[in-house]
Amino acid sequence: MSALLSTVSLLLCLQGVPALDLFRVTRTPADAPIIPRVHCWCNSYPDTTLCSWPETSHEPHTHYITTYRERHGHPMTNNCLVIPPTPRSPSSGSSSSSDQEWLCQLSDLKLFTDYIINVTAVSPAGSSSFLSGLMMEDIVKPDPPVDVRVSLQNKRHLLVEWSPPSSWRDLEIFPLKYHIRYQWENRGSPKSVNLGPFESTSVELKGLSPGRQYQLQVCSRELMGLGSCSDWSSPVYITVPRTNP
């Protein structure tokens, strides 16, 4: 019996240009490894673009082939540098392979250029492929700011300070902007305020309520608005005192 080939494609039709095959998943035969769920982002524009996917199989002989190429330019195919998941120790409390992430790093991507990435899981039972298009500028997403600090300035003012993510390599040529989110509860109901963008790495919050606890977080984004904001930083908590400190 011939091998089963299962393919799903998503086509995007743009005005005035032919349809672009942006996303395809292929599995052959039916008992082949699960199709990799690949997510790509650029955490240091334009130097570092990464793709990740969770471990998809308990089959010990499964390996991954990862390549990328320009969609419309040079036909040469490049190999992606694959970084296996870090082995978990018995004390980690989890032996599941599904929560372990594979990584691959795409090198020397050109600005404003469409690429196609192919991640194929291969085992003795068959293979499963993920094929998708990407442009670096669309997937820019810095890492969150670090070292978020909050200090009291007076009875109702807070100074929030932070440091840029160390993974963002060139702040002079490609600076970042930042957003702040602070949250609190009012009679059991959650409240939230988002502020920004700010180009500095500190901001003073005024008019806060004495006796109330606030949760503060910061996210970073490329200054011109490429891609999306980072995940929020780890929360920092502070209670505004009812009297001057």
203-233 tens-digit pLDDT: 999 989 999 999 999 999 999 999 999 999 9
Three-class DSSP category at 99: helix
Instruction: Measure the CA–CA gap between 95 and 56, rounded to whole angstroms.
Output: 14
Judge contact between 129 and 120, C-beta under 8 A. Answer: yes
Residue 1 falls inside a structural domain = no
Specify whether 154 is located in the same domain as 112: no
Per the structure block, which two tokens stand in for 236?
Answer: 């920092």
Query: Residue 156's domain is classified under what CATH number?
Result: 2.60.40.10
The backbone torsions φ and ψ at residue 92, rounded to the nearest 5 degrees and listed phi first, read -70, -15
Domain count along the chain: 2
Q: What pLDDT score was predicted for residue 185?
A: 93
Specify whether 129 is located in the same domain as 155: no
Q: How confident is the model at residue 32 (pLDDT cuts 50, 70, 90)?
A: confident
Cβ of 129: how many Cβ atoms within 10 Å? Answer: 20
pLDDT at 166 over 80: yes
Specify whether 78 is located in the same domain as 175: no
Q: How confident is the model at residue 57 (pLDDT cuts 50, 70, 90)?
A: low
Burial status of residue 97 (CB atoms within 10 A of its CB: 0-12, 13-18, 19 or more)? middle
Specify whether 48 is located in the same domain as 161: no
Q: What is the average pLDDT value for the chain, to the nearest integer?
A: 84
Specify whether 169 is located in the same domain as 123: no
Specify whether 159 is located in the same domain as 232: yes
Residue 218 falls inside a structural domain = yes
Q: CA dihedral defined by 143, 147, 153, 158, rounded to 10 degrees?
A: 40
Specify whether 102 is located in the same domain as 17: yes
Instruction: Measure the CA–CA gap between 102 and 100, rounded to whole angstroms.
Output: 7
Residue 75 falls inside a structural domain = yes
Specify whether 221 is located in the same domain as 180: yes
1 against 198, higher pLDDT = 198
> Quick one: what percent of the chain has pLDDT higher than 90?
64
Specify whether 77 is located in the same domain as 190: no
Beta strands 114-123 and 63-70 are: antiparallel
